[in-house]
Structure 1
Amino acid sequence: MTLLLVVAALPWLLSIGLRFGSEHIDRRLNPQTAVVLFPLLSVVTAFAVLSSMAALAAVLLASGEIASVALGAGIAVWILWRILEVTQHVRRVAVGSSIASEFGAQARESGGVVLVETDMPDAFAVPSGGGAVVITTGLAQALSDNELRAVIEHEHAHLRHRHSFWIQMCEIATQFDPILQPIAARVRHAAERHADESAAAHSRPDTLSAIARIALLRAHVERGPRTLAGTGGDVVRRVRALSEPPPSRQDRRVFAAGVILILTFAVISVSLFDVVQDVIAPETGEAATAIFR
């Protein structure tokens, strides 16, 4: 049982380490790497945490002791609660995607870009319905032609690199493991930076100017959080980054470290789910949780 508790604690320790070490990790990643690596790390971490709780719940429920069974039942309720949170989150995303898919239908008839009549200065990418870039007339009229092209390329980059998929992957992981909440913000910022660099490949000054101008236009507008808004992420950091040379290619040692972490979480998860299997359906001649005795 002692070994089980030690192994079950590892995902939580790694989760805490990922949360508080994310800033240090982020400094070593270019945007293209960060927008993929952080979601992958978040998913395997959340899965390891879930397997940890499932293993503990299974062992405690099978112990037959009143106090242990009660604790196991409490953990099982927590797991069901987190699964319900994920289900509700996915449902909200699905509903939003269904509504936004109308833009995709319009974009197929207008070359991929949909112009919306409103004074609100905004631009965003809609991945559903085949994908669309939505620009408001309020924003189109406020930008120069070159700035507008930079904005459109920025939003196309969100679609081309499937940023919404990586962001939602991270968001779902944080529903399972709330400790990872700050990672989601880093992924959203990395997605914006990646899209900025895609636009900046055509014209860095125009991209910088467009982002700064949109931020000023939107400064007085109150709005709820958006996944892929024209002024998403930390705008000050984005403008500062665009005033510097493009990010260098990612160090291969960072990729190696990421793969090691992912494999570590995977091994822990498999070991812990083996405990659940031992409790529910132990193999012939093997006592439940024998692997951790």
Structure 2
Amino acid sequence: MSVVTVVPVLVSAVLGLAASRLVRVLPPATAVRMLTAASLTAALSTGFVLGIVALVAAAQAPFVASLGRWSAQRFAGGGTTSALVGLACGLAMLTLLAAGVRRALRCAADLVAAEAACRRLGPGTHGLVVVEDSHPDAYALPGLAGRVVVSTAMLRALAADERRVLLAHEQAHLRHHHHVYIQLAELAAAANPILRPVATAVRVGTERWADEDAAAQTGDRPLVARTLARASLAKHQSPRSRPEALRAALPSVESAVVTRTRALLAPAPRPRRILAGATAALMLCALGAAAVSAHDTEHRFEVAQKMFHHSRSAPARVAEGS
């Protein structure tokens, strides 16, 4: 097994360690986009190299080599991978693939349920639906059009300017399709559990992104921070879980309230090209490792096939000479 094959795993680990810091120091929109792309790249590259290792180990078995018509001895000459390592990598790849498929199906089911809930709620006013409820709540419900749902109790808990902030936050979720980033990051984490911290950071990052959008619209960062704190306090004084059908909803006040409030009381984060470039470099490393592994394996198959055909033709040439 080549050292190159462990690069995607190392990239996944670095991303997991750095994700929360990137969300804190980068502009949220940049952090969410880059972390989502990087997690998908790392997950796909990791699964690919695990499959390559399993394939190489299987190709060294004489029975498999005879079926594929290549030289098992020559193939192993490029670097032996034990059957045990190959089996472990193959099982890991299949397990992670199954987890990824399950997560993808769940994401699809959640979005279908969210769309059905949007239809039941009706068009509302400019996508806003106010529901009569004694429980303070507010969330963005993704769908083909999407809905911002706010309870009457939440509206009563906030002042007029704070209501505008809350609605701006929720509308930002729908406008920027934050549920897509969250679902993709969750999918990557299901296919590669090392990336679980990245999925958590992406979820927090989408909330920070919506916070910054609301702050840009109102021009008052302390107001957005105060709204977040008051909405969070109101919700936690009357806790209640949402129905399973609303799993895809993006809550406005449950995620990392302290971190988000502190960020809003500080200046808006500025672009950091070095950190963004380092994240892009990690993606390139993972992709490069997968490409090198694929090229090396393809070359070994080509050489092994040539040696197989050469060994078959050699006795025939000897017989002709005699």
TM-score (norm 1): 0.86
Contact 1:103 1:132 in 2 (8 A): no
After TM superposition, the structure 1 = structure 2 runs for residues 113-192 of structure 1, keeping only pairs within 5 Å, are 113-192=128-207
After TM superposition, the structure 1 = structure 2 runs for residues 56-135 of structure 1, keeping only pairs within 5 Å, are 56-64=53-61, 68-105=82-119, 106=121, 108-135=123-150
Give per-residue Cα distances to partners, 1:22-74, cap 9 Å, x unaligned: 34444441212111111111111112211221111001111117993454234
Using the TM superposition, give the Cα deviation of residue 211 of structure 1 relative to its aligned residue in structure 2, in angstroms: 0.8
CA distance, structure 2, for counterparts of residue 235 and residue 65 of structure 1 = 60
Number of aligned residues:
283
Contact 1:171 1:184 in 2 (8 A): yes
Q: 1:107 to 1:129 in 2, by over 3 A?
A: farther
CA distance, structure 2, for counterparts of residue 258 and residue 17 of structure 1 = 10
2:218 equivalent to 1:200: no
Q: 1:59 to 1:217 in 2, by over 3 A?
A: same
2:251 match: secondary structure: coil
Q: Percent identity?
A: 30
2:254 equivalent to 1:232: yes
Using the TM superposition, give the Cα deviation of residue 246 of structure 1 relative to its aligned residue in structure 2, in angstroms: 2.2
When the two chains are superposed, the root-mean-square deviation of aligned CA atoms in Å is 2.7
CA distance, structure 2, for counterparts of residue 55 and residue 282 of structure 1 = 15
Opposite residue 16 of structure 2, the aligned amino acid is R
Residue range with higher mean Cα deviation, 163-172 or 216-225:
216-225
Which structure has the larger Rg? 2
Using the TM superposition, give the Cα deviation of residue 153 of structure 1 relative to its aligned residue in structure 2, in angstroms: 0.8
1:153 match: secondary structure: helix
Using the TM superposition, give the Cα deviation of residue 76 of structure 1 relative to its aligned residue in structure 2, in angstroms: 1.9
Q: Following TM superposition, where does structure 1 have runs of at least 4 consecutive aligned residues deviating by more than 6 angstroms?
A: 224-227
CA distance, structure 1, for counterparts of residue 178 and residue 142 of structure 2 = 9
Q: 1:147 to 1:26 in 2, by over 3 A?
A: closer
2:207 match: secondary structure: helix
Q: Give the unaligned 5+ runs of structure 1.
A: 289-293
Opposite residue 231 of structure 1, the aligned amino acid is V
CA distance, structure 2, for counterparts of residue 219 and residue 14 of structure 1 = 38
Opposite residue 8 of structure 1, the aligned amino acid is T
Partner residue of 1:291?
none
TM-score (norm 2): 0.79
Q: Give the unaligned 5+ runs of structure 2.
A: 64-80, 309-322
